[in-house]
Amino acid sequence: QAAAAGSSRYNFEELTWGNDETHHIAEGYDADVLLRWGDPITADAPEFDVMNQTAEAQLKQFGYNNDYVGFTALDDRGDRGLLCVNHEYTNEEVMFPGIGRQDNQNFAAMTKELVDIEMAAHGGSVVEIAKGENGKWALVRDSQYNRRITPLTTEMAIAGPAAGSDRMKTTEDPTGTRVIGTLNNCAGGMTPWGTYLMAEENFHGYFWTDAVDAEGKPDLSAQAEAAQMKRYGVPGLWYNWGQHYDRFNIDKEPNEPNRFGWVVEVDPRDPSAMPIKHTALGRFRHEGCETTVAPSGQLVVYSGDDNRFDYLYKYVSTGTVSDDNAANSALLDDGTLYVARFDEDGTITWMPLVHGEGPLTADNGFASQADVVIDTRIAADLLGATPMDRPEDVQPRGDGTAYVMLTNNTKRTPEQVNAANPRPESSFGHIIEIKEDAGDHAATTGTWSILVKCGDPSLADVGAKWHPETSANGWFGSPDNCAIDADGRLWISTDQGSGWGKTGKSDGLYALETEGEQRGLSRLFFRCPVGGELCGPYFTDDSETLFLAVQHPGTDGTKNYAGFERNSTFEDPATRWPDFDPAMPPRPSVLVVTKQGGGKIAV
């Protein structure tokens, strides 16, 4: 895959940077809207009615804030398949006319009726899609596979070392082996056997307490597990579900937070199969969970903990991948979880989180492997893992390489800088390339290097590092999700959040060269409508289709929707993408990118 000097391995005309009400794609490509929030996805689903939303309807409609997108083919040609989409969170100020932004523990308008709609809009969707004679993908609405997975209704099994632990037991589940639903599903992964992994990220935000101090901060003094809760930011008080559901109130159910922060496996081919929370992969704010297979046949899963100064993890199964899918699923329950230490000399050491080894003993509060996985962060603290600049998506490639998105960390002081996180107050983040020893993803040592330091290369005080031919269009900030296409090439999507004002650029998708003379050269392929964050991206195996997910268009530092009333028109929005209908707010949507006339993307 080495590139000749001066010749790009990505064949497309770079897009011009900017920020406006709609999306833009490089010339010669189509980016078509495939699924929008509220689209009916089952045969019996009602049409979307934004002014008269109900939880019952939302349970049969596409959810909010599409994030991870995965695909598994149902036929040999790959023209039919199941699209698996995470719905990470809800923006009530855009979702519900007239509500405005609810925060600072002021949730007066968030009634149980609206909370139920929010819960029904979280989780995931599995839908069948098929390519028509015109080469365009469309939803197969009457497919038996189409379903929603939500924190309101979907029962899940708990498997692995924490299953049945006393710390997992609640009033509703005295066995510690069953839980309703999944929360804040950010990025994810598809396994080699075609199942869908949903990562639970900012679960802390859904937990509530009535006990607050004079400043309105949670008062944990009555909690037996106060130290453990604090390390995870529980309770976050982002949503008021705990005012309507006891299980989200830690005063009433202090163990419920232990039942979130995991990786969930869903079999998209079997709608009757219960999703499984695999606790061997650890409990933290999993951004994603991308898999690969080591030369030995062992399954390897990479996962970042998206928090300032938190860590990068890897899981290696004990057994090997086979053609027995039940046995494959069990690989996620029996293996070793490691946390990364990045040394100054460019080596990476993966340190095992195993009960009884090193400091992970009863003396330090770890009575069993259940405690190690429930308190993964605390165990990793004791092992001396390297605190990172918010690890987001991690993408392994089959050759023993992995790319780690470190999105930003404005809180790192000059004293806290280390070789792998080299900038203080990093607003724009960086990307690390890991090369596991002998090209083996199961290896416990390897080397690392910084591929790019993000931000505007024309501003000296930003300290960016790109290939010098990277244009004003091509540099980016805050790498978040990433994908590798059929030719082993890296693609990066960005999430600048309200920080987009620092660059003036919409979030987008960039092709980033990793090989040869052009290593570090980035070019812009797609950009979002104003306020939108770009998630996905996902290439089909033939690299002829690329799925992109645009989250929360119209938010993040733009005008919000506080001004409009329920049962009125939506006034003065930053954008009404993708409908551009005065009766519709902007809607998070999944796009499908194809080359005009067909063929592989950017080849």
Q: Which residues bind ligand FEO (CB under 6 A)?
A: 88, 186, 201, 287, 306, 392
Position with the least CB separation from Ca ion: 495
CA distance 190 to 171: 33
Nearer residue to ligand FEO within complex by CB, 201 or 433: 201
Which burial class, exposed, middle or buried, applies to 251 when counting CB atoms under 10 A from its CB (0-12, 13-18, 19+)? middle
Minimum separation from the CB atom of position 295 to ligand FEO (A): 31
CA distance 185 to 201: 6
Minimum separation from the CB atom of position 390 to Ca ion (A): 8
Tell me the three state secondary structure of residue 117. Answer: helix
Nearer residue to Ca ion within complex by CB, 245 or 525: 525
| Residue of 262, 251, 249, 229 lying closest to 337 (CA atoms) | 262
Q: CA 440, 441, 444 angle in degrees (round to 5)?
A: 90
256, interface contact from Ca ion, ligand FEO, none, CB < 5-8 Å by kind? none
CA distance 483 to 394: 9
The verdict on 305 binding Ca ion (CB under 5 A) reads no
Nearer residue to ligand FEO within complex by CB, 249 or 551: 551
Minimum separation from the CB atom of position 454 to ligand FEO (A): 16
Nearer residue to ligand FEO within complex by CB, 93 or 201: 201
Minimum separation from the CB atom of position 393 to Ca ion (A): 5
Nearer residue to Ca ion within complex by CB, 333 or 393: 393
Distance of CA 156 to CAs 57, 98, 153, 191, 257, Å? 22, 35, 10, 18, 15
Nearer residue to ligand FEO within complex by CB, 184 or 228: 184
Nearer residue to ligand FEO within complex by CB, 24 or 87: 87
Distance of CA 135 to CAs 78, 465, 595, Å? 12, 40, 10
One symbol per residue from 443 to 482: x for binding Ca ion (CB under 5 A), - otherwise; what is it? Answer: -------------------------------------x--
Nearer residue to ligand FEO within complex by CB, 316 or 406: 406
Choices 185-193, 295-303, 367-375, 554-562; region in contact with Ca ion by CB under 5 A: 185-193
Amino acid occupying residue 404: V
Q: CA 2, 6, 12 angle in degrees (round to 5)?
A: 90
| Residue of 327, 303, 80, 21 lying closest to 188 (CA atoms) | 303
Nearer residue to ligand FEO within complex by CB, 186 or 316: 186
Residues from 479 through 498 that contact Ca ion (CB under 5 A): 480, 495
Count of residues that interact with Ca ion, criterion CB under 5 A: 4
Nearer residue to ligand FEO within complex by CB, 65 or 255: 65
Q: CA 589, 594, 597 angle in degrees (round to 5)?
A: 145
* Residue-wise burial string across 229-242, b where 16 or more C-beta atoms lie within 10 A, e elsewhere: bebbbbbbbbbbbb
| Residue of 154, 113, 385 lying closest to 275 (CA atoms) | 154
Helix then strand then coil, % of the chain, to nearest 5: 15, 30, 55
Choices 43-51, 54-62, 183-191, 561-569; region in contact with Ca ion by CB under 5 A: 183-191
Residues 6+ apart with CB under 8 A from 304: 286, 287, 288, 310, 311, 312, 313, 388, 390, 391, 392, 393, 394, 404, 405
88, interface contact from ligand FEO, Ca ion, none, CB < 5-8 Å by kind? ligand FEO
Among 93, 253, 393, 544, binds Ca ion (CB under 5 A): 393
Nearer residue to Ca ion within complex by CB, 173 or 200: 200
173, interface contact from Ca ion, ligand FEO, none, CB < 5-8 Å by kind? none
433, interface contact from ligand FEO, Ca ion, none, CB < 5-8 Å by kind? none
CB 196 within 8 A of CB 70: yes
Choices 148-156, 294-302, 386-394, 555-563; region in contact with Ca ion by CB under 5 A: 386-394
Minimum separation from the CB atom of position 390 to ligand FEO (A): 7
276, interface contact from Ca ion, ligand FEO, none, CB < 5-8 Å by kind? none
Q: CA 394, 399, 400 angle in degrees (round to 5)?
A: 55
Tokens coding 517: 């003379």
CB 515 within 8 A of CB 534: no
CA distance 511 to 345: 29
| Residue of 125, 171, 163 lying closest to 146 (CA atoms) | 125
Minimum separation from the CB atom of position 424 to ligand FEO (A): 21
Minimum separation from the CB atom of position 401 to Ca ion (A): 14
Phi then psi for residue 203, to 5 deg, are -65, -25
The verdict on 389 binding Ca ion (CB under 5 A) reads no
Minimum separation from the CB atom of position 111 to Ca ion (A): 29
Minimum separation from the CB atom of position 261 to Ca ion (A): 15
14, interface contact from ligand FEO, Ca ion, none, CB < 5-8 Å by kind? none
393, interface contact from ligand FEO, Ca ion, none, CB < 5-8 Å by kind? Ca ion
User: Rule CB under 5 A: which residues touch Ca ion?
Assistant: 186, 393, 480, 495
